[in-house]
Structure 1
Amino acid sequence: MNAPLLRGTGPELLLAHGAGSDVQDSYGPLIDDLTEYRTVIGPDYPGSGSTPLPGRPLTLDELADHIVESAVRHGADTFAISGFSMGCSVAVRAAVRHPERVTALILSAGFAHPNPRLRLAVETWRALGRHLPESRELAAYLSLMVGGPEWLDERSTDEIEEQLTLFAGGLPPGADAQLALFEHIDVRPDLARIAVPTLVVSPLRDLLITPLHSRELADGIPGARLAALDCGHAIAAEEPAAWAALIRDFLTSVEETPGRVRG
């Protein structure tokens, strides 16, 4: 297992990044803020960063165990988990599989089960990635999907071109294998079993994973809090300070003790 991001002091916070991404891409602008009061542990999934893909399809259980094992290997017996996008499903599964270790959950721009619209969006992403990798077409599609409409409207031509260049730089080698999980993910049966404090963060302008999904997570987890941010899917690009503040305020407001799985 390759070394994860490991920075900061204080209680541990484990990060679960999105599919077709890595920890720096999903959380980069927040990390300095988070490490002021937390020890942040950020492993990349197999196929992202320097973590190799296995010679078989990925599973959600495998990703959940992967991030937990990474935290434990670096001395964290218990920890909160912040999940972003598909990382929310990973975090939920980790809390159910390892209740003795997980103390709290922050689920941002996530889903319990992809509805037909989300499946179509991911299907298009995968097709463009297979047939037009590192292309302007793929970069434009991802920009339109992850950027909030108002935020994109305010970008200059140079700023849009800079973003397209970033996206056209190529997806992680395991992006398609990670995105393939959208065909099978369903953590709806897990939600009622979550027994730790949970914050669900819903980006109101998200065109990729719409607010409906955040409501489903919040409604399904006993006692979950729901907070909104006025931005698109790419929270770290649009509202990093507000997102970091939500995470900080929630974690300082709850007493973090390992949970027990309900039922």
Structure 2
Amino acid sequence: MTTQRPAQSPASPTASATAPAAAPLARIVRGGGPGLLLAHGAGGSAADNWGPLLDDLAAHRTVVAPDYPGSGDSPDEPDAPSLDELADRLVAAADEAGLADFDLAGYSLGAAVAVRIATRYPGRVRSLLLLAGVAGGSQRLRVLADQALALAGHPELLANQLLTVGFGRSWVEALPAEQLAELRAALAATPAPAGFRWQFELAARADVRTELAAVTAPTLVISTSEDDLVAPAQHRALAEGIPGARLTELATGHLPMVERLPELRELVLDFLAGPAAG
């Protein structure tokens, strides 16, 4: 695994000529072949959200997985990026890795970022995969994000929230008591990333519904059907709004890379072997 730390880089294609270039994002770069750009979720990182799949993905693609500001190896910044700015900076990471075009996958908040990339850079996105994705307009998600922000200084309470809305109900119920206690302790011991607040605020207010009809790339939407954080209605909105998009369900909560990794791996690899195989 290679993690590239920020280095000097030209401004994004849509940046103002008078605005200073944003610092490049740290990113994981692995593998070879056609490019694959990955967008992670709020409160996560490239390694947290995509790490369990990286070996398999890198066997078929040149994987570029950036960390948002305040996540992973990217330092936090005084000004939170907008959805447009985040999209441009992920594409800049693809530029720096030499990717002229790429398959694109986004998880949770990263799905909204990926949709924005697909509409701002349509000629560069070969295919689009949206996992447990945010479409926008969910009042419940705004309440849950506000609750997470209020609990950010209370790690044990935040761990309880993640256990009740982040993981699937049936998966949590099936855990032996000792494993549940160990998981709760591990979650409570994991500090929230520096960018936790702005990322959850962006997830709560991001809304890409009006631009879905402009997406031209072949699209797979994976709906996490036991998701109590980003509800399946959000995933369906993505699939219904994107012309020709295919929707498939995975019986899991919001963290399929933990709960249903073998099935998730199969779905992702089968999709990548399709329209962008060449």
Q: Which residue of 2 aligns with 1:202?
A: 223
Whole-Å separation in 2 of the counterparts to 1:115 and 1:147:
19
* Residue number among 159, 163, 168 corresponding to 1:139 in the alignment: 159
* Paired letter, 1:161: A
* Paired letter, 1:116: Q
Question: RCO greater where, 1 or 2, for CA within 8 Å and sep 6 or more?
Answer: 1
Tell me the matched-pair count: 254
SS of the aligned residue for 1:253 comes to coil
Q: Which residue of 1 aligns with 2:17?
A: none
Q: Which residue of 2 aligns with 1:226?
A: 247
* Paired letter, 2:232: P
The offset of 1:57, in angstroms, is 2.6
The alignment's TM-score, normalised by the length of structure 2, stands at 0.87
Matched-pair contact (CA < 8 Å) for 2:213–2:243: yes
Whole-Å separation in 1 of the counterparts to 2:267 and 2:246:
11
Does residue 1:28 correspond to 2:51, yes or no?
Answer: yes
SS of the aligned residue for 1:192 comes to helix
Whole-Å separation in 2 of the counterparts to 1:201 and 1:174:
26
Which segments of 5 or more consecutive residues in structure 2 lack a partner in the other structure?
1-23
The offset of 1:214, in angstroms, is 0.8
Q: Which residue of 2 aligns with 1:214?
A: 235
- Supply the RMSD in Å over aligned alpha carbons: 1.5
Matched-pair contact (CA < 8 Å) for 1:17–1:83: yes
Q: Which residue of 2 aligns with 1:254?
A: 275
Matched-pair contact (CA < 8 Å) for 1:87–1:110: yes
Matched-pair contact (CA < 8 Å) for 1:201–1:226: yes
| Matching of residues 81-160 of structure 1 within 5 Å | 81-129=104-152, 131-132=153-154, 135-160=155-180
Q: Which residue of 2 aligns with 1:260?
A: none
Which segments of 5 or more consecutive residues in structure 1 lack a partner in the other structure?
258-263
Q: What do the CA deviations read for 1:110-167 (whole angstroms, capped 9, x no partner)?
A: 12104111111111111101x42xx211111112111111111111223223322332
Does residue 1:181 correspond to 2:202, yes or no?
Answer: yes
Q: What do the CA deviations read for 1:23-70 (whole angstroms, capped 9, x no partner)?
A: 111122111121221121110001101212332232101111111111
* Paired letter, 1:142: L
Whole-Å separation in 2 of the counterparts to 1:2 and 1:118:
27
